[in-house]
Amino acid sequence: MSVSRRFRAAILGTGGIAEIAHLPALRSQSHRVEVIAAVDIDPERLENFQSKHEIPAGYTSLDAMLAEQRPDLVHVCTPPAAHADAVVRILESGAWALVEKPPVLSLAEFDRIEQAEREGGPYASVVFQHRFGSGALRLARQAASGELGRALVAQCDTSWFRPQAYFDVPWRGKWATEGGGPTMGHGIHQMDLLLAVLGDWAEVRAMAGRLERRMEPEDVSMALVRFTSGALATIVNSILSPREESRLRFDFTDATVEVKHLYGYSDSDWVYTPAPHVAQDGERIAGWTGDGPAAAGGGVGSSHTAQLPYVLDAMERGERPPTSGPAGRETLELVTALYRSALTGAPVLRGQIGPRDPFYHRLHGDVPGWAPGATAAAPGKAAAAPRLTRHEDVSELTAAAAGRELLRYHYRPELDPFECPSPYFHPLRTLSGGVVTDNRPNDHRWHKGLAMTASHLSGQNFWGGGTYVSGPAGGGYQDLPNVGRMDHTGFATIGQGDADGARPGVAETLDWINADGELWIREQRTIGVRDVDVEAGCWTLEFGTELLNVRGQSLDFGSPTVFGRELAGYCGFFWRGPRAFRGGRVLTSGGRQGESAAMGHTSPWLAFGGEFDERDGFATLLFVPDPQNPGGEPVWFVRSEPFAAVNPSLAFFEGLELPAGETLRRRYRVVVADGRWDHERIESYINAHPW
């Protein structure tokens, strides 16, 4: 946008942030921009703002202002919940937007704004003013050029204090209006500067708590972030800290650079400490040890006034401004990942959160105990009763207890047809947060956590991958056009179980469709979560299936072993363990131990124990079929090498016929436990928890 006139700017929302930050920034650039209008839904507040600041036009309607005034730039100063819709309308009118933080309430809203942008403008830029003080700009340049050496460690602390009275205002402390707690509303500025200096982040591990304040989101969060460079950073976001401070510290191989402030820094807030081997390098340290303006390269502190010229420059050139598009999204993605990790107990990788993830749409991710409407634990305590939550927008069901997501059930996954699109559980987690399933490993892409499977069913494959075919040369796996699918058709019931919430469950209906599109099986599936025992460190998944043959003729379940492959009798309820569980310990009844003692043998139960990578600790999965299952004790398929897997097989050595019109019924329990359980503990647990 090449102009010889001043830009025309409007302010949307005339509250405190507009008056103390945005309007002064605009006045500082009066030679480049004029304020022509203000918009607020409160007529009295609007009139007072107009009169006090001599703004020519006032509107209570954004659309009316856009149509009549046709501004070049709109400063969005409304509450965060109103940002997304307003910014899209602003962009569609042809105006640019400068949006107060937090920019939106979710990645979904941010992506919606990006879709409304156009090449060459208009664009929407986020107010991340800490990037634009001269001290931060100098640090970012030196970090990128290598002048300070390699980045190693960083600390990013936003430690503020907000009393309970602050959150007793109706709109505060609510997910729907503020988006989150201090992680989203306060610490986002510091985290943005952290990214501006260190570059792309790679992984987040976090915790959050509602320790003292009565509010829906967290009042404190802490995180460890790994960057693609290898650098590590800690993050603290708190509104419980009586001595308030905002602090960023960066440790490089050649120096430490630190800034301490509260709501905005000046040059004098920066401290440079050279490493011993560069202490005498006067040229290197001169910029940081002189007076303020010399040290920072211009003497500009962090403020809206510092950022606005960059937006105006971009408008003149028709270029994307800083902190818009990918740059702004990366910060929001880090915030979202922090929430996802903290609320689910699992690490989050950059790029992992997509449209099918509840956290993409809502920062609480619908996690029980955190999401609005869910029963929240008292401050400092976690509820142990499990709760099921359905996420229709991503076709997933989750169960959580004791502040931890225990499982995620994908009931309508989008998968390659070769992988047999069908529901599956992943991840399953221990109460300590350890993940005990693997999903789509590179050796068998069709292995999906914990799932119902049938690799051989009357010539069709309801698992995915190649089909084992017998032959004169000994047989082998072939990729055949015989892979079917299992279609979720509905949930018959969803309930939270007993009055005390101890045994929530769901009933699901599915259709088994063969590769030719024919309906062969109607399945009724039940899923339940029970016996959450925080003290013992375990919980139980209960799974039941009823398979009704609607083909019109018999169906025959088989396995590779039925067709000639030795000790490959998998068929039915199949668990694939994480890579770390290779070489894990296998236990069965009668004191037996080891894969060879279990593979192809019967037992009323089977336990698989493994040790985690990265995190300390062991886990045990105890598989307990219902003793009333037809056929008695199952024949077990189990492997600890080259991967961890367990399956109480329907057809290990011999095929299983399901006549037309009849139903095959099976029920299983999977006890997910922290720790290494032995035979005595397993037998004791089973005796104490009969079917």
Q: How far apart (Å, rounded) are the C-alpha atoms in residues 642 and 624?
A: 24
pLDDT, tens digit (0-9, with 9 covering 90-100), for 408-450: 999 999 999 999 999 999 999 999 999 999 999 999 999 999 9
Residue listed under structure tokens 């009763």: 385
Given a cut of 60, whether residue 563 has pLDDT beyond it is yes
Q: How confident is residue 296, by pLDDT bands cut at 50, 70 and 90? A: very low
Tokens of 443: 């050796």
Q: pLDDT, tens digit, for every residue of 20-50?
A: 999 999 999 999 999 999 999 999 999 999 9
**CA-to-CA distance for 524 and 514, rounded, in angstroms?**
18
Q: Quick one: what percent of the chain has pLDDT higher than 90?
A: 83
According to the model, what pLDDT value does residue 252 have? 98
How many whole angstroms separate alpha carbon 31 and alpha carbon 283? 37
E strand segments, 419-571: 424-428, 450-457, 460-462, 467-469, 476-478, 485-495, 505-513, 519-533, 538-549, 555-558
First to last CA, the chain: 72
How much is the average pLDDT of 104-117?
96
Amino acid at 313: D
**Residue 9: which residues within 8 A CB-CB, separation 6 or more?**
26, 33, 34, 35, 36, 71, 72, 73, 74, 75
**Mean pLDDT of the region 58-70:** 98
Cα 550 vs. chain centroid, distance in angstroms? 40
> Amino acid identity of 306?
A
pLDDT of residue 298: 58
Least confident of 2-16, 522-536, 604-618, 641-655: 2-16
Structural domains of the chain sorted by starting position, each given as residue range(s) with its CATH number in brackets: 7-126 (3.40.50.720), 131-305 (3.30.360.10), 351-688 (2.70.98)
Lowest mean pLDDT among 350-359, 521-530, 549-558, 679-688: 350-359
Q: How confident is the model at residue 345 (pLDDT cuts 50, 70, 90)?
A: confident
Predicted confidence (pLDDT) at residue 501 exceeds the cutoff of 70:
no
Which conformational region is residue 199 in: left (phi greater than 0), alpha (psi within -120 to 50 degrees), or beta? left
Tell how many helices (H) and how many strands (E) occur in the chain: 18, 35
Question: At what angle are helices 107-116 and 83-93 packed, to 10 degrees?
Answer: 10
Q: Do β-strands 151-161 and 240-252 pair in parallel, antiparallel, or remain unpaired?
A: antiparallel
Predicted confidence (pLDDT) per residue in 263-278, tens digit: 999 989 999 999 998 8
Neighbouring CB atoms inside 10 A of 453's CB total: 23
Question: Stretch 651-675: mean pLDDT, rounded?
Answer: 97
Q: What is the mean pLDDT of the chain?
A: 92
Q: What separation in angstroms does the CA of 544 have from each of 317, 412, 531, 573, 689?
A: 63, 18, 17, 10, 17
pLDDT tens-digit profile of 379-393?
A: 433 346 788 888 888
Tokens of 27: 């006045």
255: enclosing H helix or E strand: strand 255-261
DSSP 182: H
Give DSSP secondary structure letters for 52-119. Answer: HHT-SEEES-HHHHHHHH--SEEEE-S-GGGHHHHHHHHHHHT-EEEEPSS--SSHHHHHHHHHH--T
